[in-house]
A and B are shown apart, each in its own frame.
Chain A
Amino acid sequence: MKTKVEEINRNIYDIKNKDDYDFKIKKGLTREIIEEISAQKGDPDWMREIRLNALEVYNSLELPTWGPDLSELDMNEIATYVRPKSKLNSSWDDVPEDIKNTFDKLGIPDAEKNSLAGVGAQYDSEVVYHSIKEDLIKQGVIYTDMETAVREYPEIVKSHFMKCVPVNDHKFVALHAAVWSGGSFVYVPKGVKVDIPLQSYFRLNSPESGQFEHTLIIVDEGASLHFIEGCSAPKYNKVNLHAGCVELYVKDNAYLRYSTIENWSKNMLNLNTKKAIVGKNAGMDWVSGSFGSKISMLYPMSILNGEGAKTEFTGISFAGAGQNLDNGFKVVHNAKNTSSVVNAKSISKNGGKCTYRSLVRINENAKNSKCSVSCESLMLDDISISDTIPTADVRTDEVEFSHEAKIGKISDQAIFYLMSRGLSEEDAKAMIVRGFAYPISKEFPVEYAVEMNNLINLELEGAIG
């Protein structure tokens, strides 16, 4: 969260520390490598079994036959585990200087002081910092790194880990389960309202490597939480891989808001999986800003299992030269009186490609449910691409379902209008784009809305001529 940064500075994201690790697994994906990661991490047996089983599932699954071409991904060229030269700390002072500097520049410790109730910071494969406010601990809230959760809350983890997202969901989920490391675990007890957001930030520094953090959040009955996830990486010449997994359990009458600002570098393949199971009269809201990565395939999913469950997805993607962002949303209505609202936007420029891909499934038992989808795309030039691929599978007549899609190019006359008021061409375009993105950016906490506008300005820099 770069609230202090007035001037836009690409360098913040591009700080490249020396690849100075404590341990880096050799590249590739074999049984020996998985066993070595498991040993390095000191897994209990049951977790090692999950990993080895997942590797078999991974080997048995094919790459998706739809969406962006992933043929450039060669797992023999990716190191799936990189342990930084830092243990897990609860004070920033104990975090090694170069790592701390990176997070300082990303504004994390500042944000922690000003507007967060807890912070996790992951560097490559391990979490190097974790904290939570004392009063939340007193109320029984657990917010810790995933490794600690495996150690200290094995029963909760066993009954939830890879249960919301099954290992055989797709190839990269299986990969994730085999090599996962880091991530956050949150448990909010019944009735506890966490008013101030928690934030986990994921930073991948090491080249030719992957990040596979696991986020597991359980919001118990009647409780509420706002969780923020941020991610970034400096750019390298060869591909890096991100295949995280987010599992969210929103129990009856609970509420969870999950916000993401993702600014991976443009050599990143972002093949992330996020799912939520939503209980009776519970609410699950997704807010997502996707800016970085070379290829992104990201379709958060809400499964509305309880009567009266609600979900909203608000997301924006911004693709520049060489980027192919294939993002969207999936929802399953699986009970009466459930509702979903989707508001997705995309911006593409300099030949970038944005696809909105979605699935809406309304099961037979989901009588009296509502779903409304709106997606809108803005292309800033003639060489950029935008596409909408919605799928609807509606199995009952007693629903209200609407889908609206708009694709358009930025208007020359609108640019002229703003320029006639003294705005440069670049300013005019940025203003139009920021305005287009506003319905999404206003859903973020204010500091993130600022960051999002900064990212938009950054993406538009040099976009002219």
Chain B
Amino acid sequence: MENNLLEIKNLYVNAEDKEILKGINLNIKKGEIHVIMGPNGSGKTTTANAILNNPAYRKVSGEILLEGENINNLKTDEIARKGVFMSFQLPEEIPGVSVTNFLKYAKNKVTGEPVKIFKFKEELKKYMEQLNMNPKYMERSLNVGFSGGEKKKNEILQMLVLNPKLAILDETDSGLDVDAIKTVSKGIEMFKNENNAVLIITHNTKILNSLKVDYVHVLVNGQIVTTGTQELASKIEENGYSEFKQ
């Protein structure tokens, strides 16, 4: 059991008084890549937001455990500092705060240690090269004026820099062209090791092609209706979700 990173037990979540998640169970171990697929409105983004305790979503019942500890009521930043990261579907624009300054500040908060600026910038530059990002973006305001693809790459950059135990990627691949999807996959490969885990939320299978996925869960109408391996994803790509809908 000590390899359990995240356990979700019978979780019910409402958004604006509407019942979205209706008893989710999920168990992610260190070293694993999980995928949640499902049609629009099935509760995928709600799952991600509930794990990070976004105040806009209310847990009605159930439990979320991170390394055995109940994190239901921890604040978002506390959960982040315990090692959970989420790549946003629509990353926020923060004018006047440069990517470098923001990440340096966040890294200090997450690690609790002072960040050495020179070494940090070198690290940042290296990651940006690997993600085919223009290094000029380091000094630009966070996400301001970034294209959709640049924003998503910037999320992956943040994941690499902050190096969480669990990275949740919420539709990171949506709206990206083939090359950008490859770059995102590459970022995930760079990040992944036996001590961390990735939860990919998507309704697209392209991003999975180059990754070794351990489990694919199908989320329909707030419940996980089936769990399988990579083959399940291929099947969905061919046939859609109709067979899982009642």
- A-side residues, CB < 8 A to B, are 411-414, 416-425, 427-428, 431-432, 434-439
Residue pair B75, A425 in contact (C-beta under 8 Å): yes
A432 touches B80 (CB 8 A): no
A411 near B109 with CB under 8 A, answer: no
Beta-carbon contact of A420 and B96 below 8 Å: no
Distance A422 CA – B86 CA, assembled complex (angstroms)? 11
Is B16 positioned at the interface, with any CB of A under 8 Å from its CB?
no
In chain B, what residue has the closest Cβ to A428? B77
B167 to chain A, nearest CB (A): 11
Report chain B residues within 8 Å CB of A417: 88, 91-92, 94
Name the A residues within 8 Å of B241 (CB-CB): none
**A423-B106 in contact given A412-B56, A416-B54 (Cβ < 8 Å):** yes
Q: CA of A438 to CA of B105 in the docked complex: distance in angstroms?
A: 16
A425 to B80, CA, bound (A): 12
Besides A413-B56, A421-B158, A436-B95, 4 other CB < 8 A contacts? Answer: A421-B162, A427-B109, A431-B97, A438-B95
Which 6 pairs from chain A and chain B are nearest by CB? A435-B96, A438-B96, A422-B109, A419-B76, A435-B97, A421-B106
Interface size, B (range): 20 to 34
Closest B-chain residue to A440, C-beta based?
B96
B219 surroundings in chain A (CB, below 8 A) = none
18 example contacts (A-B, Cβ-Cβ < 8 A) are as follows A412-B55, A417-B91, A418-B106, A419-B77, A420-B80, A420-B88, A422-B80, A422-B106, A422-B109, A424-B75, A427-B109, A428-B77, A431-B94, A431-B105, A432-B94, A436-B95, A437-B96, A439-B96
Residues of chain B lying within 8 A (CB to CB) of residue A438: 95-97
Interfacial residues of chain B within 71-112, with CB under 8 A of chain A in the complex: 75-77, 80-81, 85-86, 88, 91-97, 102, 105-106, 109-110
Secondary structure at the B interface, as helix, strand, loop or mixed, is mixed
Alpha-carbon gap, A121 to B95, bound state (A): 36
Determine the residue in chain A with the shortest Cβ distance to B54. A416
* Binary A-proximity of B120-148 (CB < 8 A = 1, otherwise 0): 00000000000000000000011000000
Q: Is the CB of B141 within 8 A of A435?
A: yes
Over the window 12-27 of chain B, the binary record of Cβ atoms lying under 8 Å from chain A Cβ atoms (1 yes, 0 no) is: 0000000000000000
Cα-based distance from A421 to B110 in the complex (angstroms): 7
Q: Which residues on the B side are within 8 Å of A435 (C-beta)?
A: 94-97, 141-142
Q: Does B52 interact with chain A (Cβ within 8 Å)?
A: yes
Residues of chain A lying within 8 A (CB to CB) of residue B95: 435-436, 438
Q: Mark B52-71, 1 if CB is under 8 A from A, else 0.
A: 10111000000000000000
Q: How far is the CA of A421 from the CA of B85 in the complex (A)?
A: 7
Q: Which residues from chain A contact B81 at a C-beta distance below 8 Å?
A: 422
Q: How far is the CA of A418 from the CA of B76 in the complex (A)?
A: 9
Given contacts A431-B97, A431-B102, are A423 and B109 in contact (CB under 8 A)? yes
**B 142-156 to A, binary, CB cutoff 8 A, 1 in contact else 0:** 100000000000000
Chain B min CB distance to A432 (Å) = 6
Check if A420 sits within 8 Å of B105, measured CB to CB: no
CB contact under 8 A between A419 and B80, given known A411-B92, A412-B55, A435-B141: yes
Select the residue from A419, A422, A428, A435 with max chain B CB neighbours within 10 A.
A422
Beta-carbon nearest neighbor of B112 in chain A:
A422
A412 to B91, CA, bound (A): 13
A431 to chain B, nearest CB (A): 6
Residue of A411, A412, A422 near B162 (CB, 8 A) is A422
A422 to B83, CA, bound (A): 9
CB distance from B141 to the nearest CB of A (A): 7
Q: Cβ of A414 and Cβ of B77 under 8 Å apart? A: no
From residue B87, how far is it (CB to closest CB) to chain A in Å?
9
The listed residue with most B CB atoms (<10 A of its CB), out of A414, A420, A424, A427, is A420
Q: Is the CB of A420 within 8 A of B97?
A: no
The contact of A434 among B54, B55, B77, B97, by CB within 8 Å, is B97
B77/A423 in contact, CB under 8 A: yes
Contact with A along B189-213 (1 / 0, CB 8 A): 0000000000000000000000000
Which of A421, A437, A439 meets B80, CB within 8 Å?
Answer: A421
- Which residue of B80, B94, B95, B110 has the most chain A CB atoms within 10 A of its CB atom? B94
In the bound complex, CA of A436 to CA of B141 (Å): 11
Q: Give Cα A417–Cα B93 distance, bound, in whole angstroms.
A: 10
Measured in the bound complex, the distance between the Cα atoms of B159 and A421 in whole Å is 9
What CA separation (Å) do A421 and B55 show in the bound complex? 15
Q: Are A421 and B109 in contact (CB under 8 A)?
A: yes
Contact A434 B96, beta carbon cutoff 8 Å: yes
Give every chain A residue within 8 A of B54 (Cβ-Cβ).
416
Report the minimal beta-carbon distance from B99 to chain A, rounded to whole angstroms. 12
Report A-chain residues with C-beta under 8 Å of the C-beta of B93: 414
Q: Which residues of B contact A411 (CB under 8 A)?
A: 92
Chain A residues whose CB sits within 8 angstroms of the CB of B106 once the complex forms: 418, 421-423
Q: How far is the CA of A419 from the CA of B53 in the complex (A)?
A: 10
How far, in angstroms, from A432 to B101 measured CA to CA in the complex? 12
What is the CB-to-nearest-CB distance from B137 to chain A, in angstroms, rounded to a whole number?
16
By a CB distance below 8 angstroms, the chain B residues around A423 are: 77, 105-106, 109
A465, chain B: closest CB distance, angstroms: 12
